[in-house]
Structure 1
Amino acid sequence: MTRSKTEPAPTPRYRPAPRHRPPARLHPGAWWLWALALGTAATRTTNPLLLALLLTTSAYVVLTCRPDTPWSRSYSAFLHLALAVLLIRLLFVVALGSPVPGTHVILTLPEVPLPDWAQGIRLGGKVTAEGVLFALYDGLRLATLLVCVGAANALASPSRLLKSLPGALYEAGVAAVVALTFAPHLIADVQRLRAARRLRGRPDRGLRGLLQVALPVLEGALERSIALAAAMDARGYGRTADVPAPVRRTTAALTLGGLLGVCAGTYGLLTAVGGAYGLPVLLAGLAAALAGLRLGGRRSPRTRYRPDRWTPRACLVAGSGIAVAALLFAAASTDPAALRPGVIPLTAPTLPLWPTAAILVGLLPAFLAPASLARAARRKEPS
């Protein structure tokens, strides 16, 4: 069939270019479970090599997966806080002494005589290498725990984490989220004001710069607090639904009994005497506490817009951190000397093989998180 000369040619059908669909967002609870599990693993060892490996693992995941948001910039603040904690711990050992006896004297400070009621405390005196090394190991463990908490704060969105909490923890979750977002917003305000002063040719360092930056930061914090209070009141914060009295009593009994069971089970796991009953009591306490939270959610019914789902990727991210903690718990019971090197006599710490491999499992989120996959998808898109 031929087309006449006056008939217009058919318009070609428009086909949009295929675009890579960005992966789904990761559940914020997965990041917190991963980071808290790494922090739990840090509490099981004082080996500086393993602690440095934990710090490197958390830092690599944060640099790879953190989004470009105000709260993601708080990781550097936690690094400075961890460094300050480590330096203060060493300063206390130098000034107040160490309970660890040592024979290798580094320096001798003038000792201040104290009255009889202050026996057991000294100011100055001999500073030994064993005491300084013991304080370094102990302070590095606390610093690693703080950095892991900073990694969770940099990777997980506080508002999305609040949406994922059960209804019974909503009010406590709001208070926690406001406390967690205070530091990131404060850091962002300070950086913004210092950049503005530098553009105007005014000093932004020293005591004078600090005083002139502190007042606008305080004013912005007060304005943000007033806006937050108005928004919470408009959304009915603190209002609860009517629940029958038996349900309230059952909720209180389950929650309180579950928390006591969790405490007793955790104590049993941490001691050698309660190893037989620790795990069953812990599991029973967790089940009772979860049931109490489920019943308590009836007091504050809420709807969620686009709730975050526990995808297989989120489960793998959380499971990698839990695996690190579980493997280090097992290594601490089978080979405690490798995870807790002694300082008397002075010996160099060694890097055990299996705990090292266990910590490297924590790098799994760097290859599974949506941020890294989204960057790879944008690189593959045609220009």
Structure 2
Amino acid sequence: MKKLGLLSRLVIAIVLGIVIGSVAPEWAVRGLVTLSSIFGSFLSFMIPLIIVGFVAPGIGDLGHGAGKLLALTVIIAYASTLFAGSLAFLVDSSLFPHLVHAASHAGGNPEEALLKPFFVIEMPQIMGVMSALVLAFVLGVGMAQTKSRSLMNGMKEFQNIIENILGNFIIPLLPLLICGTFANLTYVGEVQVLLKTFAKVYMVVIGLHLTVIAIQYTVACTVAGKNPIKALLNMVPAYVTAIGTQSSAATIPVTLRQTKENNVSEDVADFVIPLCATIHLSGSTITITSCSIAVMMMHGVNFSFSTMFPFIMMLGLMMVAAPGVPGGAIMAALGILQSMLGFGPDMQALMIALYIAQDSFGTACNVTGDGAIAILVDKLKGSLIGTAKA
């Protein structure tokens, strides 16, 4: 089982959950639900620690960049992320009422019909999600301003601890959470509706990924005076590699090579690509925005642009230096899903399943977009330097 990838284990967990929910008696399903509930409580406890452990060092690292070039890259990457999330909302709010609600036979909240665990072990968070986010920003900005090496080293060690817990405990046990959720949904007769909805959501999400990539390269190449089709074709190896690795960081060598094939200067490519691997997540933002809207619609939760846009803005910040493991972006986003959209454990489990099942395509969108940002930064760098000299 350890040799299988996370996606393979997730698929096995879903299948096992459906089988168990179909044939097992109520007490067996409730036992599995109890185990997944305990794990869900621990995951909830870890959310503030994940925020502090990854956001604070991520912001602190940005303080060691190259001044104006750093600021330019961060602004473009964040604007790209906001655009991707906003476009996802506009498309989802137009299409999902026909795709998600049309497939739903349940008028109320599906969670009300789910079996309850035999018992619940409370694991209160040591601080609220927003408190953790504020603390992370205070520490991150403080380390960047004071260049505190001792505190930064301590935060890096704390980050390593959290990353080890994620990689060696939480991520391997995620299939247990998913299995319990799908066993419960199958037992109460909701799983067929859910799987049909999953397929429709994925079609929209991947279409949005490709649309955003096309827009990114059209804008960047128009400004830079390059051929967007040729530039996109040059980035195909990076896109395909990202699908295989499910990691922006692991794809950096290929992304870097293909970006230079687009005649981006070596110094800009060497700076922008590794940086954007941690701060530019347009594909992940599209997926999380779309999946959260689908899950809310399935649960009868109302939403609007006024509630979703602040969530998208926070999402772009929360995923800075997201854990370098498959599914890291959704783990970093659990905090604001909980605090801003009111997602409970079952809704979070569905989000994890939805996100990880397409994680490779979101990563491919992220890294391909990094190449477009490098083209744009390379073009704007001359004006930036000229302004600085003037």
The bucket for the TM-score relative to the shorter chain is under 0.3
Q: TM-score normalised to the size of structure 2?
A: 0.25
Which structure's residues are more often helix, by fraction?
2
